[in-house]
Structures are given as C-alpha cells and as structure tokens.
Amino acid sequence: MYLPDRTWPEVGEYVADESLAVVPLGSTEQHGPHLPEGTDHMIAEALAREATDRTGFLCTPPVQIGVSSHHRQFPGTMWVEAPVFRDYVESLSRNLTYHGIDRIVYVNAHGGNVSHLREVGRRLHDDGTAYAIEWMWDESIPGLIEEVFETPGPHGGPKETAMIMHIAEKLVRDDRLEDARDGGAVFDYDAERVHGATTFYDCIENSPNGVFGDQTDATPEIGEELFEAATDQLVALLEWLDARPIDDLMPEPPLEP
C-alpha cells in the first residue's frame, strides 16, 4: 500500500487495523561513472514497494537525500548534515505515530545513514513512542553476495550495479563498466587502518572515481536474484514485526533493587 497513491479514508482504514509502516531511505550521491546518482534511494524504494505490495503494509514516499558529505568532491552529490537528517527522520516518524503507527522499518540502502537511523530508532524506543529499526538490504543476504561476486565492493560495486540493472537497466552506462573497475579500487578495510585507527574521511581518498569492486561481474540476472532474495528477507522481517505484541517491543522497566 503506497501512501501517496491513497486517499485519506483509505489510509484511515489501514491504521484502524494495522500499525506498521515502511520508510525507504537512500541518498543522491555519486556512484561512479556507470551508475546514476539516485542508485541508493532507487534500490530502497524498489525493495520497500515490492515488499509492501506482497504484504499489504503501508509504504511512505522515499527519503532521497541522506548523510553523504563523504562523497562531496564528486559533482552532483547532495547531502544534509547528520543532525538535520536525524531530526528530519525523527519528525517524519513521529508524524506516522500521530496517525496510529507504532512500529516502523527504515528500508535503507545507504551506509552513511545507518548509525543515524539507529539513533532515531533509539530516541523513539526510549520514550515509548514506537519501535523503529533500520534494515540494510545487502546485510540481509551476505552469503549470496559473497557467492555471486568475487569482489563485491562496499560502494558502486557489482552488487549495486546488478541491482540497478534489474530495477532500471537503461540508467546503467554499460560502456563505462570497465572504466569503473579500472579507475576505482578494491577496498581493503584493514589496509586502510593505521595502528588500529581509521585514517580516512572521504571516499575519494580511497578511490579516484569513487567506486570499488569489479563492476563487470554484474548482470541483470544476478540483480534479479539479489532483489528477490532481499525482498524475501524484508517480507519475513515485516511479518515478524507485525506479529509481535507492542509491549514486547518497548523498553524493559527498571530493575528492582
């Protein structure tokens, strides 16, 4: 059930019976020479829409701009500062709770949003307003990603390339896949640390063209496989959350002395 397509009586009927909402979030930022800047929010919305179509749960419009200043050197990257992002998502979430929603799944496709969505979820949880959790598509199917790609890469790599090939193939610059691979980098997190300290802040410090992995490994068929597997995981999460009594999701009371 996609909220923008519905009338207020229809949404009212939904919240009379259901209390779960799905909020897709991503970013508008560089994804190399081969992928559109809307890659993350496109993936998040596609997964959220598919999962809510299958289950009947409510899906909000996507949040298309996130915490992306670490990509700022690349033209077209848009971002908001982290406190602004957190306050915006919290306000949006409290708006949902006003209408009767008490559990929210943030369907996220941008790593820069993760810690901030967790913080928003904690705020809502701590004051007993709602149970809100962050879900990242690639973290739901790590085994499959490792199985189909030798070098998946954390950003703009074959996993995101394959997903966009499935969701919006015409937006992938197929003639730039080798450029993406050869001008990017294979990310080695341990190699980028010095005596245990993370020494980098911006993506460009690790990759000249902003992406990682071997993009030539991506195909629309693999993208479909990833999309279906991730959607299955999201559907299972929504059904699990819907079945839980809200009291079981709220904070435990203080221990008695």
- Tens-binned pLDDT, residue by residue, of the chain (257 aa): 999 999 999 999 999 999 999 999 999 999 999 999 999 999 999 999 999 999 999 999 999 999 999 999 999 999 999 999 999 999 999 999 999 999 999 999 999 999 999 999 999 999 999 999 999 999 999 999 999 999 888 899 999 999 999 999 999 999 999 999 999 987 665 566 788 888 889 999 999 999 999 999 999 999 999 999 999 999 999 999 999 999 999 999 899 88
Could you give the CA distance from residue 198 to residue 133 in angstroms, rounded to a whole number? 27
Q: Which CATH number fits domain 3-245: 3.40.50.10310, 3.30.70.60, 3.40.50.1820, 3.30.750.24?
A: 3.40.50.10310
The Cβ-side half-sphere exposure at 10, using a 13 Å CA radius, reads: 10
CA 183 to chain centre: 26
> What's the pLDDT at 199?
85
DSSP 63-109: B---S-GGGTTSTT-B---HHHHHHHHHHHHHHHHHTT--EEEEEE-
Burial (Cβ within 10 Å: 0-12, 13-18, ≥19) of residue 251: exposed
Backbone conformation region of residue 147, classed left if phi is above 0, alpha if psi is from -120 to 50, else beta: alpha
Contact 203, 31 (CB under 8 A): no
Could you give the CA distance from residue 194 to residue 191 in angstroms, rounded to a whole number? 8
Could you give the CA distance from residue 242 to residue 246 in angstroms, rounded to a whole number? 9
Tell me the two tokens of residue 105.
């799944």
Contact 88, 80 (CB under 8 A): yes
For residue 206, the one-letter residue type is N
Could you give the CA distance from residue 64 to residue 122 in angstroms, rounded to a whole number? 22
> What's the pLDDT at 118?
98
**Predicted confidence (pLDDT) per residue in 189-218, tens digit:** 556 678 888 888 999 999 999 999 999 999
Backbone conformation region of residue 79, classed left if phi is above 0, alpha if psi is from -120 to 50, else beta: beta
Could you give the CA distance from residue 106 to residue 89 in angstroms, rounded to a whole number? 10
For the chain, the domains span 3-245
CA 66 to chain centre: 10
> What's the pLDDT at 200?
86
State pTM to two decimals.
0.96
